[in-house]
Structure formats: structure tokens, C-alpha cells
Chains A and B, each alone.
Chain A
Amino acid sequence: MDEISVLAWRSRIASGEAVPEDVARYYLEAIAARDPEIHAFLLVREEVREEARNLKVEDRDALPFFGIPVAVKDNFLTRGVRTTAGSRMLETYVPPVDATAWEHLAHGGALLLGKTNLDEFAMGVSTETSAFGPTRNPWDPARRSGGSSGGSAAAVAAGLSPLALGSDTGGSVRQPAAYTGIVGFKPTYGLISRYGLIPMAASLDTVGVFSRTVVDAAYAFVHIAGSDPKDPTSFGKLPPTFADRLAELRRLAYPARAERLRALLSRGVSGTKVALVREFFGGGVSPEVRGVVEAAARRMEELGARVEYVSVPELELAGAVYAVVMSAEAASHLGRFDGVRFGLRVPAENVDALYVRTRNRGFGWEAKRRILFGTYVTLSESFVDLYERALRARRFLASRLETIFADYDFLLGPTTPTTAPTLGAAGDQGPVVELTQDLLTIPANLAGLPAVSVPAGRGSDGMPVGLQIVGPRYSDLDVLAFAFAWEEARPPEARPPFGGKAAAPSPWEGGNGR
């Protein structure tokens, strides 16, 4: 067994070459071997072996994810399975319902391999704010896997799961994907139900997918996308062609669906107009990252894309707008953790003391800071001048991006300003510098746009560099198609090593096939 993409496994299961129980065991063993060092998982479910055994063979053809183990970020509610959100506040919380995104996969035959580590309540850029310890980068254990979905990214990157769910509020899927050399996809806002996803900021959050290949990401996306009556924001006004395309794909069963997807993604890039955003190559971006991405842009030009530099100065606002809107919504959401109905309770003699002691103990530093900052920007004296202004600046920025998409099909640039920083690099740098890790990914969340990070090469330090492709709303399949074209066309040195070995993939192993 040396192929670790979802569709590769699915094909072997379909042909009978692989049995779900063996697939489950394979991953459990990989986790046992490597996760003690990486700490991608907060909870591993040994039960998957039995669940795999109990899958009915007659369901095999009908279920697109039959026997596929999936790792799920621990801010997705999983009924009956502890869900911590990486916080002491929910250390023993067992949800009464399932998140819809996970439920779709489960109904499709997928198995819950485990819950992955994350920054506490998804607040962070490195998975270092997790109450349960950080997640290390499988490429270099002294470095971070990124955040907030660091655990999910590391799990897929280290071959501990073929697929993982994450959430992306300001880059929390794309950034870790870039740091760990895998595919991280964030769809258009509202396409995937957020019911059961513990929110960080309700107007920014999307469910995202980590995978080894672009087709895998697309395959998972199509399966879990769709309006959900339990999530009122999932009834976006899709353009009819897009809605039809999704419906068509969902009507197909396994091999046909994968084939059709591959065909759709293979349209190539000839004739596409790509904007290389100047601001994405600014002074804060390291030269090696810039080099890798510019080389990728040239390669795409060779394939027929028209690539031009475009300046979007308004992007300077993105960090400030994000900080205000995200904090206001996050602070609002976290009020419910008060020790009364669920979660941590620290005993106290009266209710106010109960609140303070419980929240002091249950929340980590980052959460406390976002709560305080979010509270500040919404105080009556700041409400109009900071909070509402940020909302208006958000529309300003989003409409500016829309204008660009009138002339260009995609925006292109690096996913992150540098390769994965070392653990503890945050140190004394302060929140603004930390925020810069996400500055390149934040604009897509502010405007609700689909975006993907694909491995584009390696920096001089041998660490992965991610290429980010952003499209207009509802261009998800187009964005994935562009990413697919890159994936097919990239030079060998840009390909992350594949191989089913549970050992750390060596960056210097010659590129092998997929």
C-alpha cells in the first residue's frame, strides 16, 4: 500500500484490492508510529477498525466515501465523541449532535479516524494556542504546522489520514496547507453548511478540506456542499450553471463522479486571465517564497494563461478590517461559556465569581485577548467608528475585488509570507506581527471568495511553499481546475513527495508520481 490519496484508496476498495478494515488499521498504525512526535490528533478512535469491519459490502458502490478514514478538526461537533475546540473550556464536552459537514461524509461511508488539534477555538495561526500542546510540522518538528487547523494539516501531510476537515476564517486551512505541503481548499462562503462547526466568526468562517491532491479536495467538496435547513446562511444565490454542475455531480456514484470531476478539472488554463497581486509580493514576503510563486506564474504563462501584475492597494486594509470584525464576532460567541449549562465550571460562591473564575481558567491567552479586543471595538464609544466602519470597509474591499474579477479570472500569489516559522517564534512579537501570517489569506474570507493553496515548491530551507489561487464567488470548480492544471504541470522539484511510508517524507527524495 503506497498510495495515500482518497481516490486511490477508493479505487482499491472498489476493486476489492483493499478492505476497509485494513485501510483503517494502516492509518491507526501510522498514527501510533508518528503522532506522538507530531501531535496532530487530540483523539484517535480505535473503534474505526470495528466500524470498518461492519461496513456492508452491498453499500460499497453506492457510497462515495466507503471505508475512507477522515480526520476532523476538533471544532466540528461529533455526536457522542468528545469535542474540545482545543480549549480547556470544553475539555470534557460531548456534543448531542453531529456537524452537517461530517454527517455528509459519514453518510457517504466515511469513518471518523479522530479529532485533530487546533488553536483554541480556532484562534491562532500556529496551533500553539491549543490547551493541549502544539502540533509539529511533519517536515521539521522544530517548526509549526500552522493554524488554526494545524492538526488536520499535519495529519494529511504526514500520511496519518488521507483527508481532513478544517475551518478557515482568515486562512486557517490554506495557511497550514502551505506550511505542510498539501492541498488546502476554502470554498465560497455558505456553500458548505456550518451547522455543528463551533464558530470563531460567523460571517467569516467556512468549512475547508485538506487533501494530498486537488481532485481529492474537489471530490470531498462536492460531497459535503449543499444547502442545509439547519444553517440559514447556506442558501446562497448560486449561479444556475454552478448549481446545475454540483447537482449533476452529486447524482453520480463513485467511479462516475470521480471521472466527471477529473474531466471538469482538466479544462486547462489556456485563455485564463490571472492577476498577480502586487501587494501579495510586498516587503513582508520572503524572497524565496516570492521566487517560487513567480516561477509558478511563469509556468502557467507557458501553459497559456495571461498573467499580469495588478495593484490592489485596498488590500492594506484587510488586516485591520479582519481584526475588528473577527474579534467582535468571536467575543460575542464566547460569552456563552459561563459554566452554567455545559463545559468547564470552576466552583464559586456566587454567579459572578463563577463566571470570572470559569472564564479565567477555561480560556487561554489568545482567546482572552480576542474577547477583550472584540469587547472594546464594540463599546458604545467605538461602535460606529471602529466596528461599523470595519463592516463598511469590508464591503468597500469586497467590491474592489469584485471589480478586479470583472477583468481577471483569478488572483494569484503566495499563500503565506514565509515558510513555516519555528515553534515559539511568536514569542514576544505581539498580535500584529502574528496577524501578518494570515494577511495574504484574509481577503478571501472578507469577501467570501473561494481559494485554494497548492504546493508550489520548496524554500531554500527545504520547507514547502504554497501557491494561492483566489476566484470570484461561486467559481470554486474553476479555482480547483486552475489548481489542478498547476498540479499536473509543475516541475518535479515542486512536487511534494508521495509515498505511503509513515516515516517523515524527506524533502530531498526525488519527486515521484502521484
Chain B
Amino acid sequence: MHTGHEVPVWHLSFAQRTLLGFGFLAVRGERMCYDSSVPHTRFFGNACDAALLREGVAEVPLSPETWEKLQYLARLELTPEEKVRMERELGELLAYVSSLRQLPLDGVSPMILPVEVEPVLRADVPEVFPSREELLRNAPEVQDGAFVVPNVLEE
């Protein structure tokens, strides 16, 4: 039963899954569908602590074009010093999540909400928000009710 190859659990029948549960108990600690050589799994493994974890995670470098695009899309601009630190940290994170790319996920659809929710739609009946004053009070600059911003460059 417990073969160690990568079998997505939901492909198994209920009976098989139950046996699998027992299989887990019978063979404690043995991995089933995961590659334990990937660095971050050592957190849950028996070998090391956080320092070793840090050591084990390589960094993925970002190209200058990607970097520029990211800053533009996020409307952020880092100083050169900040950039050095940020690149290192982002690289670490990217290495950490890269294991997602190898997962066998055939037939699994994306999960957008973690629970099933009844869709409740709204009737098309208008209601004016009662307090415009409170609504606009936080605006940095207002003129005759409109928000004022400095020049938009295009057009």
C-alpha cells in the first residue's frame, strides 16, 4: 500500500485512504508525496533549526528589467542600498516558493475561498451614502467636491 511514489490522495477511494491513514501510523515519519531534499522541509525535519534553514535557502536573482518593472507596477522606488537588501530578501522568498513549481497538481482546481459560501446578490435599489462629509473628510485635497491631484502626464 505505502509505496512512496507520488499519489495525490484524492485519487484514492475512501477505503484506500483509510488504509493509507493506517499506513501512516504504521510507518511513522516516512514521507509520501514530497521531496525532503528541498531545503525548507528541513524545518519540519529532524535535522536542524532556523539558522540551518536560512543557510539552506539559496537566492534567485532578479534581472534589472524585472526589477524596474516591479517597481513601476508597484509604484515604489527604492534607494540603491534598499535595493540590495530587498533583492536579497525577494530572492530568498522566491527560492522558498520555487518548490511549488514541481508539485504534481493535475486535476486540482484553484482554491479561491477556503469554504463553500452561498452567493448572495444584491437587488438593484439605490441608497445614497448618508454622510458625504465623513466620506470626504479624509481627502488630502478637494475642490467643489472633486478630488484634486497634480497633473496627469499623458493626454
Contacts and interface: CB of A to CB of B under 8 A. Distances in A.
B70 A375 contact: yes
Contact of B117 (A232, A377, A390, A430): A232
Interface in A298-340: 308-311, 313-317, 319-321, 323-324, 331, 338-340
A392 B139 contact: no
Interface residues of B, number: 84
Interface stretch (A348-356, A478-486, A500-508): A348-356
Interface stretch (A121-129, A173-181, A257-265, A277-285): A277-285
A342 B66 CA distance: 30
A233 to B, nearest CB: 6
Interface string B18-35: 100100110011111110
Contacts of B141: 345
A385 B94 CA distance: 12
Contacts of B110: 388, 391-392, 394-395
B76 interface: yes
Contact of B44 (A282, A341, A432, A445): A282
A351 B152 contact: yes
B117 A236 contact: yes
A448 B116 CA distance: 10
B34 A279 contact: no
Main secondary structure of the interface of A (DSSP, over half): helix
Given A236-B118, A369-B89, A396 B108 contact: yes
Interface in A416-461: 417, 429-433, 435-436, 439, 445-448
30 contacts: A79-B134, A189-B113, A229-B122, A233-B113, A236-B116, A236-B117, A237-B115, A283-B46, A284-B50, A309-B25, A311-B24, A313-B33, A314-B34, A316-B38, A331-B74, A338-B75, A349-B151, A351-B151, A354-B150, A356-B75, A368-B74, A371-B74, A373-B93, A373-B94, A376-B94, A393-B108, A430-B89, A431-B92, A433-B54, A446-B114
Given A235-B119, A369-B90, 14 more contacts: A278-B28, A284-B49, A313-B34, A340-B149, A349-B150, A350-B153, A356-B77, A390-B97, A392-B108, A392-B111, A393-B108, A394-B110, A400-B9, A417-B50
Interface of B: 8-10, 17-18, 21, 24-25, 28-34, 38, 40-50, 53-54, 57, 62, 66, 69-71, 73-78, 86, 88-90, 92-94, 96-97, 99-101, 103, 105, 108-120, 122, 129, 131, 134-135, 137-141, 147, 149-153
